[in-house]
Structure 1
Amino acid sequence: MTHESVPQADTPQELLATVRDLTRQVRVAQRGTWFPLLVFAVVTLVAIPVYRYAPYVDLFDTCRSSADHTVCRTPNPTELGYWTVALMLAYAAIAGFYIRQARQRGVGTPVRPYVVAGIALAVLMAAASVWWTFHPLVPLPADPFSTDPIDSGTAELLILGLTSPLAVIGLALLVLAWVERHGALLVYSLAYLAIGLAMGGKAIQSTSPWFFLPYLLVPAGILLLGAAAFALLRPSTKGPA
Structure 2
Amino acid sequence: MTHESASQAGDPHELLATVRDLTRQVRVAQRGTWFPLLVFAVITLIAIPVYRYAPYLDVFGACRSDAEHTVCPAPSPTELGYWTVALLLAYAAIAGFYVRQSRQRGVGTPIRPYVIVGVVLALLMAAAASWLTFHPLLPLPADPFSDTVKVPAGPVAWLVNGLVSPMAVIGLALLVLAWVERHWALLAFSLGYLAIGAVMGSQVIHATSRWFFLPHLLVPAAVLLLGAAAFALFRPTAEVQA
Shorter-chain TM band: over 0.9
Q: Residues 76 and 139 from structure 1, CA distance in 2 versus in 1: closer, same or farther, beyond 3 angstroms?
A: closer
**Counterpart of 1:145 in structure 2: which amino acid?**
F
* Shift, 1:22, TM fit: 0.3
Compare 91-100 and 226-235 and name the one that shifted more.
226-235
> Which residue in the other structure is 1:6 paired with?
none
Deviates more, 1:63-72 or 1:174-183: 63-72
Matching of residues 2-81 of structure 1 within 5 Å: 11-81=11-81
Q: Deviations over 1:90-143 (max 9, x none)?
A: 000000000000000001110000000001000111111111111111242012
Structure 2: any 5+ residue segments left out of the alignment? 1-8
Q: How many residues align?
A: 232
In the superposition, the TM-score normalised over structure 1's length comes to 0.92
Quote the Cα distance in structure 1 between the aligned partners of 2:139 and 2:97. Answer: 45
Letter aligned with residue 235 of structure 1: P
Residue of structure 2 in register with 1:3 after alignment: none
Using the aligned pairs only, state the percent identity: 73
Q: Is the Cα contact below 8 Å between 1:161 and 1:198 reproduced in 2?
A: no
Aligned ranges 1:194-233 → 2 under 5 Å: 194-233=195-234
Computing the radius of gyration over CA atoms, which structure comes out larger, 1 or 2? 2
Instruction: Return the alpha-carbon distance in structure 2 between the equivalents of residues 177 and 150 of structure 1.
Output: 38
Residue 83 of structure 1 pairs with residue 83 of structure 2: yes
Match in the other structure for 1:162: 163
Shift of 1:156: 1.2
Residue 174 of structure 1 pairs with residue 161 of structure 2: no
Corresponding position of 1:124: 124
- Structure 2 Cα separation of the partners of residues 201 and 132 of structure 1: 17
Q: Which residue of the partner structure matches residue 183 of structure 1?
A: 184
Root mean square deviation, CA, Å: 1.4
What is the rounded CA distance, in whole Å, between the counterparts of 2:167 and 2:150 in structure 1? 24
Gaps of 5+ in 1: 1-8
**In 2, Cα distance between equivalents of 1:80 and 1:56:** 11
Counterparts in 2 of 1:109-120, with a 5 A limit? 109-120=109-120
How far the C-alpha of 1:150 sits from its partner, in A, is 2.7
2: CA distance between counterparts of 1:77 and 1:97?
30
Structure 1 residue 240: deviation in Å? 2.0
In the alignment, the residues of structure 2 paired with residue 86 and residue 105 of structure 1 have an alpha-carbon distance, to the nearest angstrom, of: 28
What is the CA-CA distance between 1:185 and the residue it aligns to?
0.4
C-alpha contact (below 8 Å) 1:34/1:226 kept by paired residues: yes
Q: Secondary structure at the match of 2:153?
A: coil
Q: Which residue of 2 aligns with 1:143?
A: 143
Q: CA deviation at 1:10?
A: 5.6
Any runs of at least 4 consecutive aligned residues in structure 1 with deviations exceeding 6 A, and if so which? Answer: none
TM-score by length of 2: 0.92
Contact 1:159/1:201, CA 8 A, preserved across alignment: no
Superposition deviation, residue 166 in structure 1: 0.6
